Amino acid sequence: MEQDFLDWLLPRLPADPRLEIGPGDDAAVIRPPAGRRTVVSVDMLTEGVDFLLGDDCSPRQVGRKALAVGLSDLAAMAARPEAAVVAVCLPRGGAAIARELADGVAELAREHDVALAGGDTNAWDGALVVSVTVIGSVAPGRAWRRDGARPGDRIVATGAFGGSILGRHLDVRPRLAEAAWIAERFPVHAAIDVSDGLSLDLSRLLAASACGAVVDLAAVPIHADAVRLGARDTTPPLDHALADGEDFELLLALPAAAADDLLAADRPFPTPLTAIGTVTAAAGLQARGADGRLAPLEPRGFLHAFGG
């Protein structure tokens, strides 16, 4: 029963000074940090699309991922996480799923100092659906956006890309620490997190900025998972890196000199940073091959199909 789950859950949620009224009332009351702006994002994960419960995917992992993808959005805005609200639609008879899911959410919330402010539970004759709303904060005028890239900017990527379906899609590492450190020291003109595919999400940043870009294919950091997956399905690892999605890395557009300084800086995190291209005034994506020749680069990645 829903009340049994809430009786189990609510005592486990720690009090947090950011919550004037916490979980258990009709709504939460959050104390916004003084002198900062509120940043809000929501993501929904659906069984059969974003995960498949089974031996290789536990409800705890789903709970972690559901919060992590929202935190990745906050990282892409250079925002500090403050609180989260979780809504769950459970398969009927899913009490055990609910408890394990909640454990996963709470585990990642502790890691990133996120106050769990409340949520909602429901049940139906369908698959598991989880929706998480994250609330962050940022200093006025300091939020990163998609629409500020300028011709001549260098495009810098965190981490490596491709093959996330082999397991990394359930172990999302939001680049919050990396974003916070970079935002304090370097002028980032535009940013986006890569959820649907490197080339597709880069094209979104560029479209918002009314610019284009040249991507140096030899510089694209290819994850070892992309190599492993390519050996199975005969797809070139670079194609996986450009289009697979669910990497949840960041793409940043910075002035060329600032990008050089960032890449040369002594950084307090192990995540690699790589310059993968340059923003251009001409619209569209182009790829520069090893021979220096340019060719159109089609944005590819995951798009939800809405029926007509």
Any idea what the CATH number is for the domain that residue 290 is in?
A: 3.90.650.10
**217 and 287 both lie in a single domain:** yes
Element (H, E) at 132: strand 129-138
Quick one: CA torsion of 75, 77, 78, 83, rounded to 10 degrees?
-60
Q: Are 63 and 130 a contacting pair, CB within 8 Å?
A: yes
Q: Are 143 and 183 a contacting pair, CB within 8 Å?
A: no
Q: Is residue 148 assigned to a domain? A: no
Q: Is residue 46 assigned to a domain? A: yes
- Cα separation, 193 vs 256, whole angstroms: 20
- Cα separation, 214 vs 287, whole angstroms: 6
Mark which of 108, 138, 168 sits at the end of a domain. Answer: 138
Q: Is residue 290 assigned to a domain? A: yes
Smallest CA-to-CA distance from 67 within 107, 38, 95, 37 is with 107
- pLDDT at residue 306 tops 80: no
Q: Which two tokens stand for residue 85?
A: 């609200």
Tokens 């595919």 belong to 197
Q: Is residue 147 assigned to a domain? A: no
User: Sorting pLDDT into bands at 50, 70 and 90, what band is 9?
Assistant: confident
CA 291 to chain centre: 33
Tokens 């005969």 belong to 234
The mean predicted confidence, pLDDT, of the chain is 95
The identity of residue 85, as a single letter, is V
**161 and 120 both lie in a single domain:** no
Mark which of 84, 106, 138 sits at the end of a domain. Answer: 138
Q: Are 82 and 30 a contacting pair, CB within 8 Å?
A: yes
In this prediction, residue 1 carries a pLDDT of 62
- Its domain, for residue 25, covers 2-138
- Cα separation, 187 vs 189, whole angstroms: 6
Phi and psi at residue 62, to the nearest 5°? -65, -40
Q: Which two tokens stand for residue 279?
A: 């923003």
Q: Summarize pLDDT for 32-85 with one digit per residue, the tens.
A: 999 999 999 999 999 999 999 998 999 999 999 999 999 999 999 999 999 999
Smallest CA-to-CA distance from 84 within 131, 36, 132, 120 is with 132
Phi and psi at residue 31, to the nearest 5°? -90, 105
Question: What is this structure's pTM?
Answer: 0.95
Q: Is residue 307 assigned to a domain? A: no
Contacts for 225 with CB less than 8 Å, ≥ 6 apart: 162, 163, 164, 166, 167, 168
Maximum distance among all Cα pairs of the chain, rounded to whole angstroms: 65
CATH of the domain at 19: 3.30.1330.10
In this prediction, residue 11 carries a pLDDT of 86
Tokens 């002198």 belong to 35
Q: Is residue 192 assigned to a domain? A: yes
Q: Summarize pLDDT for 135-184 with one digit per residue, the tens.
A: 999 999 999 999 999 999 999 999 999 999 999 999 999 999 999 999 99
**159 and 114 both lie in a single domain:** no
**179 and 74 both lie in a single domain:** no
Mark which of 138, 169, 204 sits at the end of a domain. Answer: 138
CB atoms within 10 A of CB 308: 3
**237 and 132 both lie in a single domain:** no
**57 and 172 both lie in a single domain:** no
CA 159 to chain centre: 13
**181 and 118 both lie in a single domain:** no
Q: How many domains does the chain have?
A: 2
- Cα separation, 158 vs 251, whole angstroms: 7
- Cα separation, 211 vs 247, whole angstroms: 24
**200 and 278 both lie in a single domain:** yes
User: Sorting pLDDT into bands at 50, 70 and 90, what band is 262?
Assistant: very high
Q: Is residue 149 assigned to a domain? A: no
**61 and 134 both lie in a single domain:** yes
- Cα separation, 146 vs 255, whole angstroms: 15
Q: Which two tokens stand for residue 204?
A: 């979104």
In this prediction, residue 78 carries a pLDDT of 98
In this prediction, residue 10 carries a pLDDT of 85
Contacts for 205 with CB less than 8 Å, ≥ 6 apart: 146, 149, 190, 191, 192, 251, 253
Q: Is residue 301 assigned to a domain? A: no
**162 and 278 both lie in a single domain:** yes
**124 and 247 both lie in a single domain:** no
**287 and 159 both lie in a single domain:** yes
Q: Three-class SS of residue 250?
A: strand
